[in-house]
Structure 1
Amino acid sequence: MKKRNPIISVIIVVVLIAIVAVGGLIYQTNNHKNEAKEDTKQKVLKIGATGTSFPTAYKSKGKLVGFDVDVINAAAKKAGYKVQWVTGEFDGLLGQLDNNKLDTVANDVAITPERKAKYKFSNIYNKEETTVAVNKDSDYNTLNDLEGKTIAGASASNNTKNLQDYNSKIKFKLYDARDVTFQALLAGHVDGVVNTRNNLEALIKAKNYPWKVVKGSAATVNIALPFRKDDSESAKILKKLNPAINKLKEDRTLKKLSEKYFGYDATADLK
């Protein structure tokens, strides 16, 4: 039997090692490409809003705009996300969030004890006071003047609950949608309408409604984005989105947007 040339053996070993090394490199490259693809998939956030909540999330000339909408679009951009907006009734949007059909809801969502127990909230981006608007020519000037009077409120709104807790002598007429509560006061069916001071002041100015906002507040609430608890994808989003919201405070974007939609800086006291 002929002996194999040692040089040929060495060449064979070198070639085999090279093949293994190249194979490993190709695997790593493909693996990184797959990871990059996965990263790209999560670049779109599905966010819910009613599209009828002036001045926080409403449609103007067919485009969804408002304080919450502009804030979240700006924060998402800083965090490297694109936003896909989904509109619907408020309760239905929270249901879609619960069922993994939305990533979050940006529609004046107040942090309440009940919601805090259920959701993980983002950093706060707005602060609001619960109060009441009445007809300008009425004799009602404070919240306590409304004892025994009927106030329109949205059934699912934390503002309605805040006022109920504040003064049990105030009567309520509840409606499914927030816009209907405004129409109830315009039509004279109620003595006032409960909402946040920010929203009521902006509504009066923009729509020229013959209303005034009474003195006093039933509660102060913080506004943020709700996310599913114990959800790894939500945790990833929050990790990117919270620093972006902080940057909007630092670069005064929140202040500018607040002045644009509310007529004053409602974010001055944010921590």
Structure 2
Amino acid sequence: MNRIIIAAALAIVTMLPAHAQEKMKLRIGTEGAYPPFNYFDSAGNLVGFDIDIANALCEEMNAECTFVTQDWDGIIPALLANKFDAIIASMSMTPARDEIVDFTNKYYNTPPAIAVPKDSPLTDASPESMADIILGAQSSTTHANYAEKIYPDTELRRYGTPEEYKLDLKSGRIDAAIDDSVVLSSWIDSEDGACCKILATLKNDDEIHGPGAGIAVREEDTELKEKLNAAIAAIRANGKYKEINDKHFAFDVYGD
């Protein structure tokens, strides 16, 4: 009798569709140093909005996903070298990047901002006011590119991670910092960022920032891109996106 039961069970398994037997395996590349979007918490867990979105997309696609952390400067080369299959790391879909990788539809879009010490003499973020100061930005980002274009008379100091420019802004080694408005606001609202304030929220430059943050894949991975786009649409429609958004933010980061 046991042999009959085992044989029947094996027959049922073999009749199941392939997707019910094997999950798609997907490696997600992220930076792990960009709070509140992707970072390690005090317990060493990889957390943040990007991570929750990635997990929701993987669940929607019935995919088994693992995360690979990678320094920002090398994240696109690592994707092209097959270190992982997709980048979910708040990457703006710029025209320059679009020539190297392919992007999904956006999954959020927030504007840049400039932060300064609370006792800063700066009253606005015009090019004239910002002339002759030292402005910090993470290297290889749209924010550094924006600063180069908009503030030609400002000394731009590039950093490997946001934590480095935050440290220099707190210690007075730079006069201001430029980054995503959510990143800066989240930091300022924390004990670590109590030194500083938002000077101004800036308008996105379409040529520099593109239409928002998307998921980068290799250009040949069209099927993966289509699956990710379908999953983004699905979590937007079924309420999962809003649930994740509201967990992290008091406003809608998806944008127009």
The alignment's TM-score, normalised by the length of structure 1, stands at 0.79
Q: Secondary structure at the match of 1:214?
A: strand
Judged with a 3 Å threshold, the aligned counterparts in structure 2 of structure 1 residues 258 and 165 are, in CA distance, closer, same or farther, namely farther
Q: Distance in 2 between matches of 1:130 and 1:198?
A: 8
Q: Secondary structure at the match of 2:52?
A: helix
Match of 1:193 among 166, 177, 194: 177
Displacement of 1:106 in angstroms is 1.1
Answer yes or no: is 1:244 the counterpart of 2:234.
no
Percent identity, aligned pairs only? 24
Question: Residues 133 and 200 of structure 1 are in contact (CA less than 8 Å); yes or no, is this contact kept in structure 2?
Answer: yes
Mark the runs of 5 or more structure 2 residues left unpaired by the alignment. Answer: 1-10
Q: Distance in 1 between matches of 2:217 and 2:56?
A: 18
Mark the runs of 5 or more structure 1 residues left unpaired by the alignment. Answer: 1-28
Higher mean displacement: 169-178 or 151-160: 169-178
Q: Secondary structure at the match of 2:140?
A: coil
Q: Deviations over 1:57-108 (max 9, x none)?
A: 1011221110111111101110111210011211222221011221011111
Name 2:88's counterpart in structure 1: 106
Name 1:227's counterpart in structure 2: 217
Name 1:46's counterpart in structure 2: 27
Q: Distance in 1 between matches of 2:48 and 2:189?
A: 15
Question: Residues 202 and 263 of structure 1 are in contact (CA less than 8 Å); yes or no, is this contact kept in structure 2?
Answer: no
Name 2:54's counterpart in structure 1: 72
Q: Deviations over 1:223-254 (max 9, x none)?
A: 0011111x2xx222122111110122223433
Name 2:38's counterpart in structure 1: 57
Question: Residues 135 and 212 of structure 1 are in contact (CA less than 8 Å); yes or no, is this contact kept in structure 2?
Answer: yes
Q: Distance in 2 between matches of 1:114 and 1:88?
A: 20
Answer yes or no: is 1:261 the counterpart of 2:242.
no
Q: Deviations over 1:170-216 (max 9, x none)?
A: 22111222221111101110001110101111111134512111224
Question: Residues 146 and 170 of structure 1 are in contact (CA less than 8 Å); yes or no, is this contact kept in structure 2?
Answer: yes
What is the CA RMSD across the aligned residues, in angstroms? 2.3
What one-letter code is carried by the residue in structure 1 that aligns with 2:216? P
Name 2:131's counterpart in structure 1: 147
Name 2:100's counterpart in structure 1: 118
Name 1:20's counterpart in structure 2: none
What one-letter code is carried by the residue in structure 2 that aligns with 1:238? K
Structure with larger Rg: 1
Name 1:215's counterpart in structure 2: 200
Question: Residues 73 and 139 of structure 2 are in contact (CA less than 8 Å); yes or no, is this contact kept in structure 1?
Answer: no
Higher mean displacement: 164-173 or 69-78: 164-173
